[in-house]
Structure 1
Amino acid sequence: MACLPTAPPALALRRWLGLGLFVGLCLHLGCALEKKEVKSKLGETVGLPCCHEIPSSDSLHNYRVYWQKNIREVVLAYAEGKEISKNQRYENRTEMNDRNFTLWISPVEIPDKGPYQCVVQHLKSSQNPSVLCDETVTLIVSGFPKPKMSGTLNNESVVWNVTWVSESSLSPYNVTGKLQLNVTKDVIFTCSVESDGLTKSASLLLKKTNDCIVPTIPPSYNVITASSIIIIIFLLAITLAARYLPRHVCSRCHKPQDSVEEGVKECTKTPLSSKVTSETSSV
């Protein structure tokens, strides 16, 4: 029976170390290629996990933690157990677990979506802190909640006929509310729309009019044209009358004088004829 030569102990150790490094490298690349994602709906509470957890024997005072979005935007940062920075947009909406460094966001907004990076450093020395982990997790935000519409009439609730329209699950809603009222007195009407934790309100005073005012209807084009023609004719008639009426009156005033003169002439001729007649009769 032939015996196989055994490898020296040093050579076997090298083989095992090489295999371990290869497996470790594959696992590391696998973790790097694996993309961590966390899904949430708009308005919900979501937790983004970090890559390190403090041992029970250690304290937050020995760590420095950075949560940043898109690499450039710092969400919040802790050093020696104290918060040293926080983005104003995340004010009152974020907090971090002091053991596993999970970043909690509530309520989630559409601009919150994107990659977040958790960087953890251990403060062995203030001059050269060591990096324990650096990992990225992507937050996916889906959906817009339907806004709520409400209203009051003189501080009494009224029922709306509400419709919502949205182009897609990632698009905001256009909300429309309709309400029919029979107003018999002055009322104060308030409309409120609530969406994503925000509420917008507006008030309107509706007044009841005592008298119904009939709107004046402007005359049509034909009526205006006919009225203009009548006015022009009337003005022409007055102008002609003012020009020719005095001459006609004067002609009538001269007629009696002519008749008097003719009468005088006739009276004058009559004695002549009578004289001739008398003379002829005497002869």
Structure 2
Amino acid sequence: MDLRCTMGLSTTLFVMALLLSGAASMKSQAYFNKTGDLPCYFTNPQNISLDELVVFWQDQDKLVLYELLKGKENPQSVDANYKDRTSLDQDNWTLRLHNIEIKDKGLYQCFIYHRKSLQGMIIHQNDIDLSVLANFSQPEIMLISNRTENSFINVTCSSVQGYPKPKKMNFLLKTMNSTSEYDAVMKIIQDNITGLYNVSISSSLPVFPETNVSIFCVLQPEPTQTELFSQPYNIDAKPPQPPLPVPDNVLLTALPVLLFGVCGMVVFFITLKKRKKKPGPSHECEVIRVEEEESEQAKERVENRVPERSDEAQCILNISKTDSDLGAVMQSKEISSGIREEKHECGTQEPF
């Protein structure tokens, strides 16, 4: 067999092996506005000179990022989107893409041609799947409204400039004895220029005046990123309300009124006590009536006890009795007249 045929077959088998080995897609990750790596994984086992190689990278739209021709950069082949954004590390055949943007994510391909082998046949190819991340800012809690009558407060939490969309955002409410989770619907806004996301949630959370409460906002991004916690929003328990102090002007106003009321009560009780001791006109009228009745009863007793006498004595007695009776009648009329006047005065006088 011709030696040249043998060498050509060996070269073909070697190239096919390289293509099969590089067919698998490699994953790479970069952060927004940083530098990402697009490795080619070419080992150059035959130590082929760079003068015989053509090396280039292209994106999923077939736009060239970088080309190395005869060991030198060839900027004429590079697309305008990638000019001055790349550099090659020839020690490990890795292309570095600088100032990563969200739109840079996607599939890239590395190709290596051997110019003098089988009419410039590809001797190496591999795919790189580039993903782009952007760290969200630390979540920040803001108070929308103060505590309501039902012991609820309205709060909002926001985090900005992140990528990709976070999985979840929620509130944690911690007390001394418990931790409660409160989910909320995320509001997501994407920046049209940068492609970054701003997210926020709002919720009404229960708080109690007698309990210390710490509220946290938690953002759960992609699994490759760690959870982000806000600073705690602390609500202290309200201390017991002390009695309200009485203003000095109120005391000065109330003191004269109080003294006047006390003095009035003292005067009232003293007057009432004196009135109880002083007899009124009705009492005097009652005494006169009692004395008049006793006088008549005494008179009747005297008449009943007079002994029988002789006619002459009886005549003298009758005469004297007549005179006496006449005087008594006159006296009785005077007394009666006085009593009637007194009674008239008692009747017309207003009661005490």
Q: So what's the TM-score if we normalise by structure 1?
A: 0.40
Q: So what's the TM-score if we normalise by structure 2?
A: 0.33
Larger radius of gyration: 2
Q: Larger relative contact order (C-alpha < 8 A, sep ≥ 6)?
A: 1
